[in-house]
Amino acid sequence: MINKLENKIRLDELKPEETLKKIGFKDNMILCDFGAGTGVFSFAASKISSGNIYAIDISDGMIELLNNRVENYKVKNVLPIKVNSDVLPLENESCDMILMATVLHEIENKEEIIKEFIRILKNDGKLAIIEFHKKVTPMGPPVDHRISENDVDDLLSNNSFKILDKISLGSNFYLNLYGLSNK
């Protein structure tokens, strides 16, 4: 799994630290990395901000890996959190930004998790969704398993979010950035 999530081609295209800065992530901000996996974005965020970086995942194996990396890298602000439900164990309005990298297409109950995102985001918070382009690309799931930019826009605009920016990260990925339209 690490080789898949951290292969050079994938990381060169995602450019985690550069991408976070491009979407406005800065020092003292708090990030919820939802579906953190191996922590590619969590650890990049910890280099930018001294605020808490919540690395959330459903996989016991990923949480164990994240905990080991936190210890090995001696990073104090990356906090791995295991979730078992649609309810996130974070306080209301506790996050400046939520990042979901190549995870939304895997979520069954998208509207429930979006309600949780609204709850944990600060009023001026941002939600960044990175997904695979909905076409044949060099990597990623089958095209029929992907979610298009327009479908993401529709889902979020129907759930209190407005589009702030759209960024193509390369031949495999797009990033859509959202803010809350009302809370």
pLDDT of the residue at 7? 81
CA distances from 134 to 19, 97, 104, 149 (A): 20, 25, 13, 8
pLDDT of the residue at 4? 64
pLDDT of the residue at 177? 98
Q: For 70-97, how does the pLDDT look when each residue is reduced to its tens digit (9 = 90+)?
A: 999 999 999 999 998 888 999 999 999 9
> Domains (ranges, CATH) in the chain?
2-180 (3.40.50.150)
For the chain, which residues score pLDDT lower than 50? Answer: none
CA dist 69 and 63 (Å) reads 10
